[in-house]
Structure 1
Amino acid sequence: MESSINEKHLRDEIVKVAGPVFIELLMGTLFGMVDMMMLGRSGDAATTAASIAAVGVTNQLVFLGLSLVQSLNIGATTMVARYIGAKREDRIESVVKHVMILTQLLLVIPILFIGLGMTDTAMKFFGAHEDTLLIGRGYFRVIALGFIFQAFNFSIFASLRGSGDTKTPMKINIIANLSNVVGNAVLIYGLFGFPRLGVLGAGISTSLSQVIASIMLVRVVLNEKNIVHIKIKKKFKFDKDIVYNLVKIGLPASGEQLAMRAGLLMFTKIVASLGTVAYATHQICISILNLSFTPGQAFGISASTLAGRSLGEEEPDKAESYIKMCGKIGAVIAATMGILFFFFGTFIAGLYTNNREVVVEAGKVLKLMAFIQPFQCSQLIIAGGLRGAGDTVWTLISTFLGILVIRLIFARIFVMKMGMGLRGAWLAVLVDQGIRWLLILMRFRTNKWKYITIR
């Protein structure tokens, strides 16, 4: 009886943290899909393919920046969760200030320099052809400018999630995403007397929605009743222990994210070599894959927060139970996603574009994506638990081997040597996810992550 009560308690706690994250990520991804669908119907076939490709190219830069921002944020989530578990809430304000300032100084400034000062060079580097350059320059610059606010938002969201507050990020993100979709409709198509701006309109709307989210978040962190808050009048001073923790947790996490971005960039270049239509198809498949990330990400964040808090309370076995229970729930959702992709892939792809060639090819890729689901979801959840414990070295190793070595080798074999086209590229993704899952599971079973300390 005791164990079933405990299991129910674990489930309730997990759902309390993961539920809002899942809704937030799902809504965000769905809104992103709607954005892509709007662009897919914003002009003739050549214009829409170039517009979708421009979004894909710009996302390479944004995801690179956000990946590094998340590296610092992993440290913030872990520290906030640990300090709450150890009843040291007085340390949280300093964590939030450190993450905010370091993010803007170390990460936002370089992204602005690349996005605004090296637009054409950067876009070509990320795989843009001439048609994409022509249509996507303005979008690229506007999104780079919006990164100032996006990075700030990510930092505060990470701290809030570490405290177990996932409802606030959910509410703010839903409002921001809703305003983005409305703004997109108005500016892409030129409704209510506004100019018809196409992909540039999508960029302006996206960046403005980040500004709206930032304004709402400032109100949250200035409220001293919240666990995560800052006092503007309180003088900021660097705390070497917090910087040490951020470096200890964040440096391997940065390495992991850089390895991931470098691997994905090289992988995308292999796909881009197949031409604009294949690249546009790939972007649609990536957009759908992002939807399937949501269960793994949501329960990974839940595992991270609850494992971190349990380790702060000096209850390592409880941390393990949280991670295992997150994995069980995630497995059911992953199986459901896989079935949907396998049987309804062509229908889902058809929502994005009228281009029959793209729809048929995307449908075939989605059948492969169905088999990726269980491996992807499980490794995202266990890796989330390990990060919550501060164990970011092993996640770096698995990502480095999986994406930079295994995926690229198999992509070259399947696409370039065997001529399997886009499906060959996605078969390489399946092999990569399977190997990463195995490496992360092996690390989890050693229990060494339970004994990592922070200052």
Structure 2
Amino acid sequence: MEESHSKQSIRDEIVRIAGPVFIELLMGTLFGMVDMIMLGNFGSDEVSAAAIAAVGVTNQLVFIGLSLVQSLNIGATAMVARYMGANREDRIESVVRHVIILTQIFLVIPILFIGLRYTQGVMKFFGAHQDTINIGMSYFRVIILGFIFQAFNFSIFAALRGAGDTKTPMKINITVNLINVFGNAVLIYGLLGVPSFGPTGAAISTVGSQVIASIFLIRYILKKDSTIHIDIKNRFKFNNDIIYNLVKIGVPASLEQIAMRIGILLFVKIVASLGTVAYATHQICINILNLSFTPGQAFGIAASTLSGRSLGAKEPELAEKYIRTCSKVGAVISATMAIIFFFFGGAIASLYTKNSQVVLEATRVLKLIAFIQPFQSSQLILSGGLRGAGDTVWTLISTFIGILIIRVALGYYFVLVLGLGLAGAWLAILIDQFIRWIFITIRFRTNKWKYIAIR
């Protein structure tokens, strides 16, 4: 093996890219936990449960929008990585422009229209009870307005990561998350002479931080020495090759995200039928599960960037080595998290709320989350490697079967037929993650992903 591709150099390159992503995602999730802890300790038990449930309901529509944005971004990351590997940096600016424009026209505008025009109907559709709607309507509307900036930020971050620059997104996200936490404390509780806005205050702070992130990113991409540079003097023209690549990679990714969101929506409706306390508990557990996603996501992004770049440089075996090494490191971290969730779940859950019923139920669920860890981490990283290669069809198949069929069907059976409550819902999630892991592992071992071409 050449010295440039030694095991040590492969590990160093993975850490260089995955390290900042891991720190960024971990800090972002921790800040999200702090947000929810603040809301969980605002007002009476009933008010805090409804506030947490309102966040969960709002996130359903936002996540649908962001999922579709991410499907275009998967194409952007893969294309930027391929062009970097093939020394075709001249095509990168056009890719970024295409993704920003298409995202705002075809995804942001429809989400804004639905969210602002049909607020109450949408919240009911996502399973909100009347107490949640009463507390959460203004929160919902403010967060939906912030989607304009959130979608823009996601597009730029995706391009930067495809180019191997993960430090810039990390620095910007940590800065604005710190601003968000400070803003939350002031606006939720009414500190420093500011009135208390409760859940709406959390929304105002969140959107404000997203606007600041957009300003930072615009300043960055306009600089000539930035990793991704946009020259506003250049006229924009639609490029058929770039659109073809975005469609080829993005359509299966979009269908995957639609399948995932429909599956999660149906699943959330099953959980919501258990009542506000169970739904609030579920939201806390989802929030904690998101923390455990961070190693898999970080190393999945590294696998995506490095596999795409290696395939662009016509080195498919190197792409495989990068993905396998990412998977090994991710496995060690996920095992550590599993141990923490299993033995210290009660202590973690008690940070969110004073409601003893919620804490007890969350502690039980966290033991199941511990067993989810190895399958979740492995399939996230292998899926990242496949997406970096432009192979999004098999990630679509695994998600369609795992979430839309297995999770929903078993969730219905365990919760509504067997009466296993919230624990039954999370048992369905465990089985779903296991099934998806099997599908992705089989696809990775066929090596067919190494031979997918883009224009």
- 1:113 equivalent in structure 2: 113
Q: Normalised by the size of structure 1, how large is the TM-score?
A: 0.99
| AA partner of residue 442 (structure 2) | M
| AA partner of residue 52 (structure 1) | I
Consecutive unaligned residues in structure 1, runs of 5 or more: none
- 1:386 equivalent in structure 2: 386
Whether the 8 Å contact between 2:188 and 2:201 is mirrored in structure 1 is yes
Supply the distance in 2 between the matched residues of 1:3 and 1:164 (Cα, whole angstroms).
21
| AA partner of residue 299 (structure 2) | F
Q: Normalised by the size of structure 2, how large is the TM-score?
A: 0.99
Q: How does 1:236-275 map to 2 (within 5 A)?
A: 236-275=236-275
- 1:33 equivalent in structure 2: 33
- 1:138 equivalent in structure 2: 138
- 2:189 equivalent in structure 1: 189
Kindly provide the CA deviation profile for residues 19-55 of structure 1, in whole angstroms up to 9, marking residues without a partner as x: 0000000000000000000000110011101100000
Supply the distance in 1 between the matched residues of 2:447 and 2:215 (Cα, whole angstroms).
42
Supply the distance in 2 between the matched residues of 1:393 and 1:113 (Cα, whole angstroms).
30
- 1:174 equivalent in structure 2: 174
* 2:324 equivalent to 1:317: no
Kindly provide the CA deviation profile for residues 232-269 of structure 1, in whole angstroms up to 9, marking residues without a partner as x: 11110000000000000000000000000000000000
* 2:327 equivalent to 1:327: yes
CA drift at 1:227:
3.0
CA drift at 1:224:
1.6
CA drift at 1:5:
7.2
Whether the 8 Å contact between 1:21 and 1:170 is mirrored in structure 2 is yes
Supply the distance in 2 between the matched residues of 1:3 and 1:428 (Cα, whole angstroms).
46
Whether the 8 Å contact between 2:188 and 2:198 is mirrored in structure 1 is yes
Whether the 8 Å contact between 1:20 and 1:170 is mirrored in structure 2 is yes
Supply the distance in 2 between the matched residues of 1:238 and 1:327 (Cα, whole angstroms).
37
| AA partner of residue 39 (structure 1) | L
CA drift at 1:80:
0.4
Out of 304-313 and 406-415, give the one that drifted further: 406-415
Q: Compared with structure 1, are the counterparts of its residues 329 and 4 closer, same or farther at alpha carbon in structure 2 (3 Å cutoff)?
A: farther
- 1:152 equivalent in structure 2: 152
- 2:430 equivalent in structure 1: 430
Q: Give the secondary-structure state (helix, strand or coil) at the position aligned to 2:6.
A: helix
Supply the distance in 1 between the matched residues of 2:265 and 2:141 (Cα, whole angstroms).
19
Q: Compared with structure 1, are the counterparts of its residues 95 and 4 closer, same or farther at alpha carbon in structure 2 (3 Å cutoff)?
A: closer
Kindly provide the CA deviation profile for residues 207-233 of structure 1, in whole angstroms up to 9, marking residues without a partner as x: 000000000000111012123111111
Q: How does 1:6-405 map to 2 (within 5 A)?
A: 6-405=6-405
Supply the distance in 1 between the matched residues of 2:114 and 2:409 (Cα, whole angstroms).
29
Supply the distance in 2 between the matched residues of 1:31 and 1:188 (Cα, whole angstroms).
15
Supply the distance in 2 between the matched residues of 1:4 and 1:95 (Cα, whole angstroms).
29
Whether the 8 Å contact between 1:51 and 1:199 is mirrored in structure 2 is yes
| AA partner of residue 157 (structure 1) | F
Supply the distance in 1 between the matched residues of 2:224 and 2:127 (Cα, whole angstroms).
46
Q: Give the secondary-structure state (helix, strand or coil) at the position aligned to 1:354.
A: coil
Whether the 8 Å contact between 2:5 and 2:318 is mirrored in structure 1 is no
Q: Give the secondary-structure state (helix, strand or coil) at the position aligned to 1:200.
A: helix
Supply the distance in 2 between the matched residues of 1:69 and 1:61 (Cα, whole angstroms).
13
| AA partner of residue 174 (structure 2) | I
Q: Give the secondary-structure state (helix, strand or coil) at the position aligned to 1:308.
A: helix
- 2:420 equivalent in structure 1: 420
Supply the distance in 2 between the matched residues of 1:224 and 1:244 (Cα, whole angstroms).
28
CA drift at 1:4:
11
Consecutive unaligned residues in structure 2, runs of 5 or more: none
Supply the distance in 1 between the matched residues of 2:314 and 2:125 (Cα, whole angstroms).
48
Q: Compared with structure 1, are the counterparts of its residues 127 and 84 closer, same or farther at alpha carbon in structure 2 (3 Å cutoff)?
A: same
Kindly provide the CA deviation profile for residues 325-353 of structure 1, in whole angstroms up to 9, marking residues without a partner as x: 00000000010000000000010000000
| AA partner of residue 330 (structure 2) | G
Q: Compared with structure 1, are the counterparts of its residues 353 and 216 closer, same or farther at alpha carbon in structure 2 (3 Å cutoff)?
A: same
Supply the distance in 1 between the matched residues of 2:418 and 2:123 (Cα, whole angstroms).
29
Q: Give the secondary-structure state (helix, strand or coil) at the position aligned to 2:146.
A: helix
Kindly provide the CA deviation profile for residues 305-338 of structure 1, in whole angstroms up to 9, marking residues without a partner as x: 0000000000000000000000000000010000
CA drift at 1:412:
1.1
How many equivalent pairs are there?
A: 455
Q: Compared with structure 1, are the counterparts of its residues 223 and 4 closer, same or farther at alpha carbon in structure 2 (3 Å cutoff)?
A: closer
Whether the 8 Å contact between 2:310 and 2:318 is mirrored in structure 1 is yes
